[in-house]
């Protein structure tokens, strides 16, 4: 979707954003908006779905059994035997079928029943099967399409050219976070939260250069200058020629393109990113008060590529520490929401008001249980 | 109750069970049907109620204090002091009375207050006491009658002639299972679930010979043949001359006679059971989503009775493993029910449809809390 | 408030208390009555609020951030950043302001926002701040006034002359108890519960000498005689010349003066207390089903004051054991209330009926969540 098609409007820092000053009360509570299921969502790391094995996955309380059959392809079935609702993820892979552990009903990869071992003539008419999900393997992740299966074909997977580029190396993240996915989008887009990471990254001064909003996206550009204080070696390594001393000035571009989020860091004087992050926050429970964050951090290889190898554990430790601090904040936000019973945020940063609108208008009503 | 009196109908495997094809939606959710309290239910192992001691027991959230006084008899009282509702099971046995731990109110075995140590003339009128339950000790268990006490006298305890027979030795089981008791009845009656135990018992092929249904009971007969695979030594020992090699063919009779369940295994060419199981699943919580299973496994002594002594630990380990697998399945069923908020089972096995009807029509509405 | 002003009536043990015989059903459930917030309540030990640090406290689910700034004074703010509701207790003290950990908004001690580091001209209008609580430090405790702040000035802190007296030494208690605060008042006032402590204090016989009730208070006087049995050395030490052998007779005066409670023990032949306890039970959660007990036990120093030093650990262990038994009882009462869904106590002791009325008429409706 090009920016022209979606009506993107570019705003400078001095633009009039009075229309963002308040969200209408009729907008409803953002934390009760469900993630739109008509997109591809990762629900497992591909390597965790080993050959001839089945694992349990989930999208917003839709339990999904992922299994890799003899053909090597991964199948995704509703994780409930049609018979007695026992999870099929407790079952056994036989060839390209999945057999329930309890009474041994067998299912094909599309969810149709292939065998009920003991069925007799006089017995009741069995059900036809369980729901099968469109499934694709990419970027080391297993994606499913939890929404209307007819839309799956025409809905593209996210495009991550850097993933397969020889000039980038990818670090994969997979973490459960006890908060609504919207807190994650707001966290990353509002770089004024660098105070939270002062112990890890030192004093960073983010300056908003401008941002753009479309019905499906918000993109913000920040100029980052380092204002002294502790420096983390991991941070330095991460942005090899990027975030440096007090004299550096790097440009960070963060974009929510529903339902995904990306972050690119282009060092001063460079013409391409030193690293690129792609992330998505997959709801876990029915109320979507917990999400599972999948992240792909694609880091440019230095000229001596062995250096990256050596730096890898340091970079991972650094990113884990930053993520742990973010998690602490967003989980505190979720707890506050649960205690207050509603969203009482008082937002003043215009682009965050914009991303809230994007998440609200592209989302669906949360189902909840019963 | 004879079969004639209760209108038992015998059905062969080829009988027309079309009437079982679907349960009417008006039937209500079986998992919301409470166990009928007008029966004798075990609530403790007799040896756990030691002389001059009190223990806490429960039937469907009715908390019960069991104590054994000086006379040796066990008494069963509502487990709430009439004064401030503190559990009497925290109290002290004195002679044949039970004294609350808090302000020392004392109760007789029938629940009437025998003393309030500090009551003065001007004080308020005290309550008369707490509920006393009819209680009986049998088969190493303490049974109470949680329903209408006037029906207790005419309601027989289960009859277990093998328990006191010199030719059988009894192994006792007592386990909490986090599921509605109905899942337990269905589990044992539907022997097509042998796939669940494939790792422990090898490949068993159960063939339904026929079954009988009455308003209060369902009884199924299966022919068991061993089709190869791993054999567990405990299984072999359990059915001494019973379940053997691929050439064996034993007859297993399983019966739900509300509210109890029995299983008899008669080896090929034998005229009496190699072992008999009696079991009952006592609801624990108000919603009856957890039950406590009591089982008595009566095993025929071999000619050299010392052999059974030696085999005893192996048999126990084997039955524990089988039970652990069953528990995993039925607890998964309960979790599915709780997540789905209703019973979505699609049953095709006619006798299971029959036992569902027996459990529903003999049960009572579940109370729940408040 | 003098007794005359509040209409105190003195009752002997033989007085007519028929009016106490029953509580009207219209009275409502005492366990749903909230603690009146228009009093000073301790919410932390003063030494736990270290210089330049912030700690989380709570009164009935009102989360409070306590911090001690450069001036040494303690400030109490609503524990929610006005921006995104993240707890300010996760923040950082800077001078006499408190800065939120997330986007670095800064607050003054009265709750007004002093700085939002990144706010631009075009941004939304920020909120004015968060609620600030009146706060006072006394007796080693931090007191806040959770109710109408205009009433704080005229509401006195409790007066504890023994605390600063050179003849008494104070032992401080701070414990969370999972029960409604009313159970704590009833526990201490009804000394007929000595049976609960029979293992620790031996056989104590409490005899009610009389009691007085006013709209805000109930005061009971008991004569304590020791009737043999185990004696705890800590108990002996606690009442140095107090509770002694079977020939001793000490007078214990227990008083609920809303919302506080005191206990004085005057040994036989003495003219002043051997020890004085001051206690308050601060609700923690919205439903007030958990409270935090703060206690100050002021013990008279013996002539050789080093003896008290030596006895201190024994006295602490003794009081901890007694408190553990009380806790077990009152938490059992709370669980019973939760299981029964209502207060089914059947009280017969007139002064307990009186204190129930005091707690009910001085309390406020419990808010609960949402």
Answer whether C104's CB lies under 8 Å from C119's CB: no
Mean pLDDT (whole number) for A289-313: 92
pLDDT band at C367 (very low <50, low <70, confident <90, very high): confident
Nearest CA in chain B to C15: B122
Q: In this model, does residue A115 exceed pLDDT 90?
A: yes
Q: Chains with ≥3 Cβ pairs under 8 A against A?
A: B, C
Place of tokens 């009856």: B288
A269 or C287, greater pLDDT: C287
Residues on chain B bordering chain C, Cβ-to-Cβ distance under 8 angstroms:
61, 63, 80, 82-87, 90, 99, 101-104, 116-127, 369-370
All structural domains of chain C: 9-35+158-365 (3.90.380.10), 51-133 (2.102.10.10)
Answer whether A49's CB lies under 8 Å from A73's CB: no
Place of tokens 């409490």: C206
Q: Which residues of A are less than 8 Å from B337 in CB distance?
A: 85
Q: Among A182-191, A360-369, C11-20, C34-43, where is mean pLDDT lowest?
A: C11-20
Task: Give the minimum alpha-carbon distance from A10 to chain C in angstroms, rounded to a whole number.
Answer: 15
Mean pLDDT (whole number) for B291-320: 92
- What would the two tokens of residue A247 be? 């004299």
* Residue A233: predicted pLDDT: 60
Enter the ipTM.
0.89
Q: Which residues of C are less than 8 Å from B83 in CB distance?
A: 345-348
Residues on chain A bordering chain B, Cβ-to-Cβ distance under 8 angstroms:
61, 63, 80, 82-87, 90, 99, 101-104, 116-127, 369-370
Cβ contact (<8 Å) for A121 and B349? no
Using the CB atoms, write b or e for A155-193: b if 16+ within 10 Å: eeebebebbeeeebbbbebeeebebbbbbbbbbbbbbbb
Answer whether B259's CB lies under 8 Å from B362's CB: yes
Mean pLDDT (whole number) for C116-126: 86
Mean pLDDT (whole number) for B221-228: 83
Q: In this model, does residue A122 exceed pLDDT 60?
A: yes
Of C196, C341, C350, the CB nearest to B122: C350
Q: Among B61-65, B306-310, B313-317, where is mean pLDDT lowest?
A: B306-310
pLDDT band at A238 (very low <50, low <70, confident <90, very high): low
Question: What sign does the dihedral B257-B262-B267-B269 (CA atoms) show?
Answer: negative
Cβ contact (<8 Å) for C192 and B103? yes
Q: Which residues of B are less than 8 Å from A87 in CB distance?
A: 332, 336
State percent of chain B over pLDDT 70: 86
* Residue B201: predicted pLDDT: 85
Of C332, C333, C346, the CB nearest to B127: C346
**How long is chain B?**
370
Of C104, C122, C126, the CB nearest to A350: C122
Q: In this model, does residue C18 exceed pLDDT 90?
A: no
Mean pLDDT, chain C, rounded, equals 89
Place of tokens 């329930």: A100
Query: Which residues, 6 or more positions from A310, have their beta carbon under 8 angstroms from its beta carbon?
Result: none
Cβ contact (<8 Å) for B333 and A86? yes
Cβ contact (<8 Å) for A86 and B336? yes
Mean pLDDT (whole number) for C143-151: 98
* Residue B241: predicted pLDDT: 38
Task: Give the minimum alpha-carbon distance from B286 to chain C in angstroms, rounded to a whole number.
Answer: 9
* Residue C123: predicted pLDDT: 81
Task: Give the minimum alpha-carbon distance from A152 to chain C in angstroms, rounded to a whole number.
Answer: 36
* Residue B234: predicted pLDDT: 63
Mean pLDDT, chain A, rounded, equals 89
Q: How many Cβ atoms sit within 10 Å of the Cβ of residue C11?
A: 17
Nearest CA in chain B to C194: B103
Q: In this model, does residue A208 exceed pLDDT 50?
A: yes
Mean pLDDT (whole number) for A330-349: 96
B250 or A214, greater pLDDT: A214
Query: In a mutagenesis test of the C interface, which of A11, A192, A343 is the best target, namely the one with the most C β-carbons within 10 Å?
Result: A192
DSSP string, B64-89: EEEEE-TTS-EEEEESS-TTT---GG
Q: In this model, does residue A4 exceed pLDDT 70?
A: no
Q: Which residues of B are less than 8 Å from A82 in CB distance?
A: 346
Q: In this model, does residue C23 exceed pLDDT 60?
A: no
Q: CA A107, CA A88: separation in Å to the nearest integer?
A: 9
Mean pLDDT (whole number) for A152-166: 96
Mean pLDDT (whole number) for B267-278: 92
DSSP string, A56-97: EEEETTEEEEEEE-TTS-EEEEESS-TTT---GGGSEEETTE
Cβ contact (<8 Å) for B101 and C20? no
Mean pLDDT (whole number) for B6-26: 42
Answer whether A330's CB lies under 8 Å from A179's CB: yes
Cβ contact (<8 Å) for C369 and A192? no
Q: Which residues of B are less than 8 Å from C348 in CB distance?
A: 83, 116, 119, 123-126
Q: In this model, does residue A24 exceed pLDDT 60?
A: no
Residues on chain C bordering chain B, Cβ-to-Cβ distance under 8 angstroms:
13-18, 20-22, 190, 192-193, 195-196, 208, 328-329, 332-333, 336-337, 339-341, 344-350, 353
Q: CA B241, CA B269: separation in Å to the nearest integer?
A: 10
* Residue B224: predicted pLDDT: 87
Q: Of A272, A291, A269, which is closest to residue A280 (Cα–Cα)? A: A291
Nearest CA in chain B to C347: B83
B354 or B370, greater pLDDT: B354
* Residue C258: predicted pLDDT: 98
* Residue B14: predicted pLDDT: 38
Cβ contact (<8 Å) for B103 and C17? no
Q: In this model, does residue A241 exceed pLDDT 50?
A: no
Answer whether B52's CB lies under 8 Å from B68's CB: yes
* Residue A203: predicted pLDDT: 82
* Residue B232: predicted pLDDT: 61
Task: Give the minimum alpha-carbon distance from C199 to chain B in angstroms, rounded to a whole number.
Answer: 11
Task: Give the minimum alpha-carbon distance from A25 to chain B in angstroms, rounded to a whole number.
Answer: 32
Mean pLDDT (whole number) for A199-211: 90
Answer whether C192's CB lies under 8 Å from C211's CB: no
- What would the two tokens of residue C139 be? 């007796």
Cβ contact (<8 Å) for C370 and A341? yes
What angle do helix axes B181-189 and B305-340 make, rounded to 10 degrees?
Answer: 120
Task: Give the minimum alpha-carbon distance from B15 to chain A in angstroms, rounded to a whole number.
Answer: 7
- What would the two tokens of residue C266 be? 């005057």
* Residue A28: predicted pLDDT: 85
Q: Chains with ≥3 Cβ pairs under 8 A against C?
A: A, B
* Residue B268: predicted pLDDT: 84
Of A192, A337, A346, the CB nearest to C82: A346
Cβ contact (<8 Å) for A123 and B15? no
Mean pLDDT (whole number) for A229-251: 58
State percent of chain A over pLDDT 90: 76
* Residue C369: predicted pLDDT: 53
Answer whether B77's CB lies under 8 Å from B107's CB: yes
Mean pLDDT (whole number) for A335-359: 96
- Beta bridge partners, A94, equal A97
Q: Chains with ≥3 Cβ pairs under 8 A against B?
A: A, C
**How long is chain A?**
370
- Beta bridge partners, A33, equal A365
C339 or B235, greater pLDDT: C339
Cβ contact (<8 Å) for A195 and C102? yes
Q: CA C161, CA C278: separation in Å to the nearest integer?
A: 11
Q: In this model, does residue A246 exceed pLDDT 90?
A: no
Residues on chain C bordering chain A, Cβ-to-Cβ distance under 8 angstroms:
61, 63, 80, 82-87, 90, 99, 101-104, 116-127, 369-370
């Amino acid at each position: 979707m090009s920016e022209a098609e979606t009506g993107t409007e570019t705003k400078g820092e001095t633009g009039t954003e009075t229309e963002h000053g308040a969200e209408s009360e009729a907008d409803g509570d953002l934390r009760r908006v469900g993630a739109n299921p008509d997109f591809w969502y990762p629900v497992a790391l591909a390597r965790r779905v080993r050959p001839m094995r089945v694992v349990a996955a989930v999208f917003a309380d839709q339990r999904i059994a992922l299994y890799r059959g003899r053909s090597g392809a991964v199948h995704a079935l509703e994780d409930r035997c049609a018979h007695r609702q026992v999870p099929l993820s407790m079952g056994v892979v036989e060839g390209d079928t999945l057999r329930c552990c309890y009474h041994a009903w067998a299912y094909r990869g599309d969810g149709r029943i292939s065998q009920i071992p003991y069925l007799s003539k006089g017995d009741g008419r069995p059900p036809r099967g369980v729901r099968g999900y469109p499934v694709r393997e990419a970027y080391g992740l297993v994606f499913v399409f939890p929404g209307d299966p007819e839309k799956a074909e025409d809905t593209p997977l996210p495009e991550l050219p850097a993933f397969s580029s020889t000039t980038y190396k990818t670090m994969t993240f997979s973490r459960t976070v006890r908060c609504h996915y919207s807190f994650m989008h707001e966290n990353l887009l509002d770089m004024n939260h660098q105070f939270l990471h002062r112990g890890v990254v030192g004093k960073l001064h983010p300056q908003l250069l401008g941002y753009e909003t479309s019905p499906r996206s918000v993109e913000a550009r920040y100029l980052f200058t380092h204002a002294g204080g502790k420096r983390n070696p991991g941070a330095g390594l991460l942005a090899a020629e990027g975030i440096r001393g007090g004299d550096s000035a790097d440009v960070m571009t963060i974009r929510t393109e529903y339902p995904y989020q990306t972050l690119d860091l282009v060092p001063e004087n460079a013409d391409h990113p030193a690293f690129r992050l792609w992330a998505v926050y997959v709801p876990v429970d029915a109320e979507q008060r917990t999400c599972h964050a999948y992240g792909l951090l694609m880091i440019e290889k230095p000229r001596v590529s062995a250096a990256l190898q050596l730096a890898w554990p340091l970079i991972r430790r650094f990113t884990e520490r930053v993520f742990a601090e973010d998690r602490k904040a967003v989980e505190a936000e979720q707890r506050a929401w649960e205690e207050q019973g509603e969203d009482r945020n008082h937002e003043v940063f215009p682009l965050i008001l914009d991303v809230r609108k994007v998440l609200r208008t592209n989302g669906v009503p949360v189902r909840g249980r019963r």
